Structure 1
Amino acid sequence: MTDQAFDADGLFDDDYLRFFAEPLEERADVETDLIWRLLDLEPGMEVLDLGCGHGRITGRLAERGCRVTGLDVTSAFLERARQDAAARGVPVTYVEGDMRSLPWGRRFDRVISWFTAFGYFDDEDNRRVLTEVSRVLSPGGRFAVELNNRDWIIRNFQPASVIERDGDLMIDQRAVDPVTGRVVTERTVVRQGLVRRIPFFVRMFTFTELRDWLLAAGFRTVTGHGDDGGPLIPDSRRMIVVART
C-alpha cells in the first residue's frame, strides 16, 4: 500500500466545514489558551499558522495582540477566515500557498500547526515542511505541532466511524499501513441526497520519530506534551510537540 490516493480538493472543502467547523469552534478558545501558554506568546509577536483553515485560531491570537499570518491551500477556507477576521475587527494576513515552500525569510517568532495539519505528503515532503518552518523562524523561535498520538491510535484503532449533522453523514473507513506509517481512509459523504467518496491519508508519528525529524530540520530542542499540554503518555489521545530554533 505505497501508492495511495489523496484527493486534497475533495477532502478540504465545504463539506469539511459542514461537519467540523462547529465542534472546532466550540473548543477554539481553550486551544488558543493552550497555544498561548505552551509557546509563551506575547502581544506583538509575529505568528504563522500553517494550515490555518477557516481562521479559528488566527483570529483569536490577533485579538490578543499578535501579528498573525495564516497560510492554507484552500481558497474557500481562507475566504471564511477573512470574513471572521473582519467580524472580529482584527488584522490578519491570509495567504493561499503550499507549506512545503513558504514565501518568507527568517521572520516569525512562533509557528503553529494545529489539529493534524501536518502529515499529508510523502516523507520527503513532510520533512521539507519542517525544514521550511525552521527556515522562517527567528533565532530562539518556537514551533508547536498538534496531531494524533500514534500510540493511542494503534491501541484504540477504529476501522470505521460515522458523524451525523442534521441527516447528513460522514463515514470514514480506515486501515493502518505499517509500511508508510499512515492511516489510509476512504471517506464517504452523504449530503442532501448526494454521495461523494474521498480517499486520503495522514502520516502518524511517535514522539521520538517526529523529534528526530525536527532535530534533523535544524531545531535545537524538542519537547512532547499530551492532551491539554500535560505529560505525553500512551493514553494521550493527542500529541503536541514543541520545537525551538
Structure 2
Amino acid sequence: MSKTTGRAPAARSPRTSHEPMQPNAPVTSVVMRGKISHAVRIRAAPVTGHTPLAPGTRTSIQRSHAAPVTGHTPLAPGTRTSIQWLAVFQSERFFREAWPQISQAFASPTDAASDVEWIVGAAALDAGARVLDAPCGFGRHSVEFARRGFPVTGVDFSETELDRARKAATEAGVPVRLVCQDIRDMEFPGEFDLAVNLFSSIGYFSDDEDRLVIDRFWRALKPEGVFVLDTRNRDQLVRSLPPEERKRVNGGTLRIENEFDPATSRWRARWWRIKRASAKSREGAAELIGESEIRLYSAHELSAMLRPERWGHVELYGGLDGTPFSLDAPRLVLVARK
C-alpha cells in the first residue's frame, strides 16, 4: 500500500455478535517470571495429581536453558517473568485445551480486514509505518496490516495462538514478526507509528496494571504515534448482557453463563461445552471448561487513564468503523495520539 489519504472510510453498521474475553495460554519454552497476559479466575477442582497453591501464594517458574520457540522472537537470556497465582488458579487447561479450540470461532478475517482498513485511515498511516499489535492472538489483524505493506510486530503470551499467527502469515505470503511475551513486559522504546490493543484485551489485571499496560503502549510509540484501543462499552453491556448465551463451535455448542457485578464493574463468565444429545435427552451433559473475568471500563474511566501530559489528543468512537460513540454503542474505541 503506498500512502493513505488520511481520511477514515465511511461508517458501517456496527457488529453485534457476541465477543468473549481473550485469555492467553501459558508459555513453557521461554524463561518466565510469568504475569499471565489475560488473567482468568477458575474455581474448578484442582488438577488431579497436583497440590493446589494456598491463597495469596506467589510462584516463579524459571527455565534458564529452554530453547526459543521456532518462528518467534525469544526473550533475552536471563529474562524472568513472575506469575502471581490466584487462589486455585488453574488456567493452564483452559488456555492449552479449551481456548485454542474456540478462539477462531469468535473472530472473522472479514471483520479484521474492515477493522484494519478503518484504523489505517483514522491513524493516517504513511507507507512503511511500523505497527504493534498486542495481544495479537492468532494474527488476524497482524496479517491484514502486513497485507497492506506495513511492518508488523505481534505480541502474545500464547504459543498456540502465535503458531497459528505464523501459519496465517505464511499462507498469506506476508512477513510478521511475532514475540512471545506478556504485554505488561513489553519494551519497545519509540519503535512504532501505530499500536493497537483490540478485541477487549484490557481489563484482565488490576486497575494499576491496566494503567501500566497503557504506559507500555505509550513508550512503544514514536512521537506523534497513534494508539487504538478497542473494548466493550460498559454502559451498553450492563443493559444488554444476557444471563446466558450459546454458540455453535466446531460442530458442538458452547453455553456461556454471564454475570456482571456493578460494584466492581467485573464481567464473569462460565464456559460450558455441551455434549451431543442422547436418545434419552434432548440436550447432552454440560462440561465446565473454564471461567473468565474482565474489568469493564466506562468511556470517562479509560479516557482518564490516558494521561493528558502524555497523550495530546483522544477521540472516542462506537466501533472500528467510525460509528459515533454513544451509550448504545456496543464498542468503545479510543484513538489517541502521542
* Normalised TM-score (structure 1): 0.90
Contact 2:94 2:289 in 1 (8 A): no
Q: Secondary structure of the equivalent of 1:229?
A: coil
* Greater Cα shift, 26-35 or 105-114: 26-35
1:25 Cα deviation from its structure 2 partner: 2.2
In 2, the alpha carbon distance for the partners of 1:191 and 1:208 equals: 42
In 1, the alpha carbon distance for the partners of 2:94 and 2:227 equals: 25
Contact 2:184 2:212 in 1 (8 A): yes
* Greater Cα shift, 207-216 or 182-191: 182-191
Alignment of 1:91 with 2:183, yes or no, is no
Count of aligned residue pairs for this structure pair: 242
Q: Secondary structure of the equivalent of 2:219?
A: helix
Alignment of 1:21 with 2:104, yes or no, is yes
Q: 1:207 aligns with which of 276, 281, 299?
A: 299
Q: Which residue of 2 aligns with 1:45?
A: 129
Contact 1:55 1:78 in 2 (8 A): yes
In 1, the alpha carbon distance for the partners of 2:246 and 2:170 equals: 34
1:97 Cα deviation from its structure 2 partner: 0.4
Alignment of 1:180 with 2:272, yes or no, is no
Contact 1:42 1:66 in 2 (8 A): no
Unaligned 5+ segments in structure 1 are none
Alignment of 1:107 with 2:191, yes or no, is yes
1:42 Cα deviation from its structure 2 partner: 2.7
In 1, the alpha carbon distance for the partners of 2:99 and 2:120 equals: 26
**2:310 corresponds to which letter in structure 1?**
G
In 1, the alpha carbon distance for the partners of 2:149 and 2:337 equals: 22
1:10 Cα deviation from its structure 2 partner: 4.7
The 5 A counterparts of 1:158-169 are 158-169=242-253
Closer, same or farther: CA 152–51 of 1 in aligned 2, 3 Å: same
Q: Secondary structure of the equivalent of 1:95?
A: strand
**Quick check: which one's strand share is greater?**
1
Q: Secondary structure of the equivalent of 2:163?
A: helix
The 5 A counterparts of 1:89-168 are 89-168=173-252
In 2, the alpha carbon distance for the partners of 1:230 and 1:197 equals: 35
1:149 Cα deviation from its structure 2 partner: 0.6
1:216 Cα deviation from its structure 2 partner: 6.2
Contact 2:100 2:160 in 1 (8 A): no
In 2, the alpha carbon distance for the partners of 1:200 and 1:223 equals: 29
Closer, same or farther: CA 79–162 of 1 in aligned 2, 3 Å: same
Q: Secondary structure of the equivalent of 1:58?
A: helix
Q: Secondary structure of the equivalent of 1:5?
A: coil
Closer, same or farther: CA 147–67 of 1 in aligned 2, 3 Å: same
In 2, the alpha carbon distance for the partners of 1:93 and 1:167 equals: 33
Closer, same or farther: CA 222–24 of 1 in aligned 2, 3 Å: same
In 1, the alpha carbon distance for the partners of 2:100 and 2:41 equals: 22
Unaligned 5+ segments in structure 2 are 1-39, 43-89, 277-284
Alignment of 1:5 with 2:88, yes or no, is no
**2:99 corresponds to which letter in structure 1?**
Y
* Greater Cα shift, 34-43 or 80-89: 34-43
Q: Which residue of 1 aligns with 2:3?
A: none
**2:315 corresponds to which letter in structure 1?**
T
In 2, the alpha carbon distance for the partners of 1:89 and 1:153 equals: 38
Q: Which residue of 2 aligns with 1:242?
A: 335
In 2, the alpha carbon distance for the partners of 1:225 and 1:76 equals: 32
**Quick check: which one's helix share is greater?**
1
Q: Which residue of 1 aligns with 2:149?
A: 65
Contact 1:69 1:94 in 2 (8 A): yes
* Normalised TM-score (structure 2): 0.67
Give the aligned CA root-mean-square deviation in angstroms: 2.2
In 2, the alpha carbon distance for the partners of 1:226 and 1:45 equals: 25
In 1, the alpha carbon distance for the partners of 2:141 and 2:97 equals: 19
Q: Secondary structure of the equivalent of 2:185?
A: coil
1:61 Cα deviation from its structure 2 partner: 0.6
Contact 1:8 1:200 in 2 (8 A): no
- Larger C-alpha radius of gyration, 1 or 2? 2
Closer, same or farther: CA 183–123 of 1 in aligned 2, 3 Å: same
**1:5 corresponds to which letter in structure 2?**
R
**2:195 corresponds to which letter in structure 1?**
V
